Amino acid sequence: MKKWFFRLIILLIIALIAVFAFYVYPKLPIINAYAAKRACSSTFVSNRTLESVQKEDLGEFPQNLATVNVLEDKGIVEAKSFGLSKVRSIYRQGLGCKVVIGIDDTPQVSLNNEGSVLSNTDTLYWPYGVKEHSQKSEGIDYNKLDEAFRLAFDKTDSWVKKTRALLVMQNGQLLKEEYLSPYNRETPFLGWSMTKSVENILVGILVKEGKLDIQKSNLFAKWQNDERKNIKLDNLLKMNSGLSWNEEYGTISQVTEMLFLEESAGAYAIQSPYLSPPGEVWNYSSGSSNIINQLIKESFESEEDYLLFPYEKLFHKLDIKSAQLETDERGDYVLSSFMYATARDWAKLGQLMLNDGVWLQDTIITKDWVEYSFSETPHSEGRYGAHMWRNGIPKEYPSCPDDTYKFSGYEGQYVIMIPSLDLVVVRLGLSKGPPFDMNGVMELIVESVVK
């Protein structure tokens, strides 16, 4: 009996080692890179404590396998699991945090992206200035609005809905904002794939300036000798390029390799193989966004001009001070995923779209570009435009009007815009589905503003 028991224990140990070797160990570099990057940005960009990051952002499997060490004086965060596959993320002033693959052999540069402050903000109300409305807006059912906020946030000592911030503005006026303590209006939040919609705006600026053409093909030398030469910037924006791409985050896939194992996100994505003719298949792809970023970079003569472009041509013009775009190890922005901003500054970007691209008489992007951005992409079930999301068929938010659009990011980051109501709603958190109910929240918000 003892001999059989001993053999059973040995077999169980061998089985556990096999499971670890084949299923866990290969994922450790990604797990550790994710943990290091998340902790680095949360510490040095959002000014959060490591304790809160480990509890909220890294508290679930498999992220909780990582042991994280913050070297605050050096701007470095290290992560490893079971003492294996140590990964570092490094903070650089003006450029946020980057994951270091192996030896950090790229230049240690920083960026002064603060820019000048708009001269007339003291006399204007937010979002166009710094003045705050002291009176409530007329015609708003604030009881309904308060009910929406209660539905969005967890009750005391509960952490299931995981909403960190909710903001509602109508007709360019803030109706209500609320933050889960210790977050506040000064906290920059990660937008994840909402960054793609910001990239849309950046492309729109370059199209307006004549530096990019969405109908141009033969985009890269590597594509000129195969079917990829037929791909247009338009296809990349609409996610129907025909390139093969796996957007699965729970395993080793193209998207996780690109974000956490590659020195250059764009160079990795450009290698994606041809799968189908452009325009025939809609396939959501963070790779497409980083391919677009390579086209953005190539439109500038210098590295500095490229890095300053989003700040000088977009953020500074909207008096957005909190925005932080982050790069890969090579130094290129990861415009698929890595932008931080406060809830108020995310709301400004939504209001820009409602304004048909105009901000204080300055045309940032054209009305035609806004209409193009929200126009339905074939084969997307009405859900997608050009790096912008639509309400879908059937509606994702049945309680909202047909002209509901949004920026959308992983774990439930939303900037929702309804032009017919001149309404912008920002929700930032760590959950996308039940018990969090975005449709229920939106239903109450819409009811509160519709007379």
Residue 319 has pLDDT above 70, yes or no: yes
- For 108, counting Cβ atoms within 10 Å of its Cβ (0-12 exposed, 13-18 middle, 19+ buried), the class is exposed
Look at residue 259 and tell me whether its pLDDT is greater than 90.
Answer: yes
pLDDT at position 14 is 61
Query: Taking Cα atoms as reference points, which of 448, 443, 440 lies closest to residue 153?
Result: 440
Indicate the residue type of 255.
V
For residue 136, the model assigns a pLDDT of 87
pLDDT of 421:
97
List CB contacts of 87: < 8 A, sequence separation 6 or more. 29, 32, 33, 35, 36, 78, 79, 80, 99, 100
- Rounded CA-CA distance 334/320 in Å is 19
76-81 sheet: strands from edge to edge: 66-71, 76-81, 84-92, 96-100
Mean pLDDT on 81-87: 92
Question: How many C-beta atoms surround the C-beta of residue 259 within 10 A?
Answer: 23
What pLDDT is stored for residue 103 in this prediction? 72
Q: What is the mean pLDDT of residues 324-350?
A: 97
**Residue 378: other Cβ atoms inside 10 A:** 13
d(CA 362, CA 346): 19
Q: Per-residue pLDDT for 120 more than 80?
A: no
Any residues with CB less than 8 A from the CB of 229 and at least 6 apart, and which? 217, 218, 223
Vertex 238: Cα angle to 237 and 241 (nearest 5): 90
Alpha carbon separation from 178 to 172, 181, 184, 321, 427 (Å, rounded):
18, 9, 8, 20, 10
* CB contact set of 14 (below 8 Å; sequence gap of 6+): none
Amino acid 10: pLDDT: 66
Note the pLDDT tens digit of each residue in 216-236.
999 999 999 999 999 999 999
Q: How does pLDDT run across 265-314, given as a tens digit for each residue?
A: 999 999 999 999 999 999 999 999 999 999 999 999 999 999 999 999 99
- Angle 47-48-49 (CA atoms, 0-180°, nearest 5)? 130
Mean pLDDT computed over every residue of the chain: 93
The span from the CA of 318 to the CA of 349, in Å, is 8
Q: What average pLDDT does this structure show over 374-381?
A: 96
CB-CB contact of 425 with 446 (8 Å): no
b/e burial code for range 386-408 (CB count within 10 A of at least 16 → b): bbbbbbeeebbbeebeeebbbbb
As a whole number of angstroms, the distance between CA 111 and CA 418 comes to 35
Tell me: the pLDDT tens digits for 174-187?
Answer: 999 999 999 999 99
